[in-house]
A = this chain, B = another copy of it.
Amino acid sequence: MDFEVTILGSNAAIPTLSRGTTSQYVHCKQRHILIDCGEGTQMQLRKFHIKYQRINIILISHLHGDHVFGLPGLISTMQLMGRTQGLKVYGPIGIKKLLRANLDAGGGYFLFKIDIVELENDGAGLIFEDKCIEIHHFPLKHRIPTHGYRIQEKPATRKLVREAFNKTGVSVAYIKKLLQGEDITDNLGVHVTAASVTLPAPPTRAYAFCSDTAYSEAIIPYIQGANLLYHESTFLDKEAERAAETYHSTAKQAAAIALKAQVKLLILGHFSSRYKSLRLFQEEAEELFPHVSIPEDGMLYVISN
């Protein structure tokens, strides 16, 4: 099943002609999730041919404009295009007031239900689940309350090896237990181990999003072992002081977090527009952690097992 992340905007506070402000689209098992929505996100979705009406969950990290000023416009466009399907928006305390101020100013009424969930400052835990995925939030270390997110698959069941199972002669009524990993003995005394007739479930995949944040080892338990980690790196190490002052990270710090959290691949982002080339971000991060990617807007990351 698909698990993909498309980078819609990878620049820090100020958009450039080639890099938008923060936004990402996550397609995970037919769930369509937008993370952050800087100004121009609706244009980026259009540019990269993503069907924005499919999006039914929006996660907002914090209320700095470069992460949220595109949200009123996107919601307005969804409405103008005749949306009826509901939309869930998760974000920090204050997001409800912000959205209402923008949508009410134009005298807007909405044909679809917008369910806005305000997350507690410094809170962490499960915020959404269905039969396929879970979404968790956790606190980042920024100037204003900011949430990181982890999107992960639910554990799949083991896979039945039909031929091996048929040979046992036990009733198909036992399949459910065997798929859950339990060994069984049927009413005739035939013993079958789960391992002999099923294959283990594939490991679950996870994507973790951390922006904006200063260096903080406190986030590691929440992003531990993720297949893909997006960690902001607004600056290079020689601007470490500026990074600390503004509660942002350097490429080196992002790499240190990726290493300690044992993720598989690190995507950097939220680059300050002072940097003309991003080659040094890659080099600096790779000194600590070997699997680093510098995205271009529109790049798609496929998360495989």
Contact = CB atoms under 8 A, between A and B. Distances in A.
Interface of A: 13-17, 39-40, 42-43, 46-47, 62-66, 68-70, 72-73, 76-77, 80-81, 94-95, 97-98, 101-103, 105-107, 143-144
A102 B98 contact: yes
A107 B143 contact: yes
A47 B43 CA distance: 15
Q: Which of A42, A66, A69 has most chain B Cβ within 10 Å?
A: A69
5 contacts: A14-B81, A39-B43, A66-B73, A94-B105, A102-B102
Contacts of A13: 76-77, 80
Given A106-B65, A107-B143, A15 B39 contact: no
A73 B81 contact: no
A46 B64 CA distance: 21
A14 B80 contact: yes
Q: 3 closest pairs, A vs B, by CB?
A: A101-B101, A63-B105, A39-B73
A305 to B, nearest CB: 36
B107 A144 contact: yes
B39 A17 contact: no
A101 B107 contact: no
Contacts of A70: 39
Given A65-B72, A144-B107, A46 B102 contact: no
Contacts of A97: 101, 105
Q: Which of A42, A43, A46, A62 has most chain B Cβ within 10 Å?
A: A43
Given A17-B46, A39-B39, A66-B73, 17 more contacts: A13-B80, A15-B42, A15-B43, A15-B46, A17-B47, A39-B70, A62-B106, A63-B106, A63-B107, A65-B73, A65-B103, A66-B76, A69-B102, A94-B105, A101-B101, A102-B102, A107-B143
A13 B17 CA distance: 22
Contacts of A14: 77, 80-81
Q: Which of A17, A73, A76, A95 has most chain B Cβ within 10 Å?
A: A73
B73 A69 contact: yes
A103 B95 CA distance: 12
Q: Which of A42, A68, A77, A94 has most chain B Cβ within 10 Å?
A: A77
Contact of A72 (B40, B69, B107): B69
A98 B107 contact: no
Nearest to A75: B65
Contact of A105 (B40, B73, B98, B105): B98
B16 A65 contact: no
A12 to B, nearest CB: 9
Contacts of A46: 15-17
B39 A106 contact: no
Nearest to A40: B40
Nearest to A74: B39
Contacts of A73: 39, 65-66, 69
